[in-house]
Amino acid sequence: MYIFLYLLTIFLKDLILVAGKEGLTMSFSSLRFIFLFVFFYSPLAYSQSNICLTDFNEILAEDSLEQIKSMRQKANKHCLECGTTSCTLKQWDEANIANQKICNRLFCKPIKRTQKKTLFASSENHGFGQTKVVFSYAINTNGRITDVDIIDLEGEMDKKRALSFLRDNLKALRYEPVEINGKEYFLRDLQGSTGWNIYEK
């Protein structure tokens, strides 16, 4: 319990750098360019027990990485359940929601985004309008998102197109891999929630 009180004190002083909420996307249709504005928003109204990722553009402050790595070593056994090659986040009840938030802060937040704008090019119908998704994913030993799948979908895009769009954006995120006693692990069974609004201008 004391470790979480200590971590909470540290993180109250550590702000998250959030990139701009508006991304620009472009489509080629009928031999002309259509400029689309894509707005990503969160959180969504889904009643999930533990949502790790809610924003494509949210990253940890660059100067907090060493602190995060140090805190992870102290909190591994409190936050994770690990096998031989992979870990999952422990599940917390309502009485320990603060512990869940701290564990998410340590293990769910990306450290880098490799592209500043969202580019979505296609000659197909984009599904103009709002789309909301809840999805599952994992973080591999290279710190990249993998095994993305949609759990719940609302809005204009069909599942195939929404999954493609989601994967294209998530692949730009980079994470600090989970490392325990010098060994790197997959982090599996994570969930995220986000949405976007695409419209023609």
pLDDT at 127: 64
Instruction: Kindly report the average pLDDT of the chain as a whole number.
Output: 76
Give the C-alpha separation, 103 to 106, whole Å: 5
pLDDT band at 38 (very low <50, low <70, confident <90, very high): low
pLDDT band at 47 (very low <50, low <70, confident <90, very high): very low
Range of the domain at 108: 2-200
Whole-structure pTM value: 0.74
Identify which of 116, 118, 114 has the alpha carbon closest to the alpha carbon of residue 25: 118
Bigger pLDDT: 54 or 182? 182
pLDDT at 7: 52
Say what percent of the chain tops pLDDT 70. 69
**pLDDT digit string (tens) for 49-105?**
578 888 777 788 888 889 999 999 999 999 999 999 999 999 998 899 899 989 998
Sign of CA dihedral 82, 99, 181, 17: positive
How many structural domains compose the chain?
Answer: 1
b/e burial code for range 57-79 (CB count within 10 A of at least 16 → b)? bbbbeeebeeebeebbeebbeeb
**pLDDT digit string (tens) for 166-180?**
998 898 899 999 999
pLDDT surpassing 70 at residue 125: no
